[in-house]
Amino acid sequence: MKGRRKAFTLIELLVVVSIISLLSSVVLASLNAAREKARTSRARQDMYQVAKAISIAQGEGFRTLLSITGSTCSDCVCRTGANLMGDTGTCYSAWVNVLTTVQANTGGVFAGITNITRDPWGSPYAVDENQGEGGAGACATRDGLRSVGPNGIWGDSDDITQEVPLSAKCP
């Protein structure tokens, strides 16, 4: 058998292909998990920036967020249980109104939050103006920001929330 060449058998080639397939599926799963963590981190950072702007606006006018936006519940229009991804309706309009009024009330100290119109999954953020909701002296509850998360549905387990510090008006 002098002239016989060494080569891979069909079984050996199939084993190599299946190992490569298995490794690539593990890498893709890890990549998707990393992307999701990055989106969550971006949503948290966006909400932190908005909370900072709200605090500045509250301090500039010695007011609560409720008195700045004129609404006791801007996110109430978002609580429908419907998917909010890509929505340009009342929830989006309420969020843009909050951004616009907050930025206008920062006295020019804070700029750029009007660009934070959607979370990383395409839904508008939401805000609930709780502080002072029960009238003068009602300061126990904090304002809150919310991203509806990856599935775009308000009020379920993947929502991301951020509390807004109490304004100086309420001790």
**pTM to 2 decimal places:** 0.78
Domains and CATH numbers, the chain: 10-164 (3.30.700.10)
Rounded Cα gap, residues 9 and 114, in angstroms: 63
55-93 confidence digits (pLDDT tens): 898 888 788 888 888 887 888 878 876 667 666 678 888
Instruction: Give the CA angle between residues 143, 138, 135 to the nearest 5°.
Output: 100
Which tokens is 162 given?
Answer: 């951020």
CB 102 within 8 A of CB 113: yes
Please state, rounded to an integer, the average pLDDT across all residues of the chain. Answer: 84
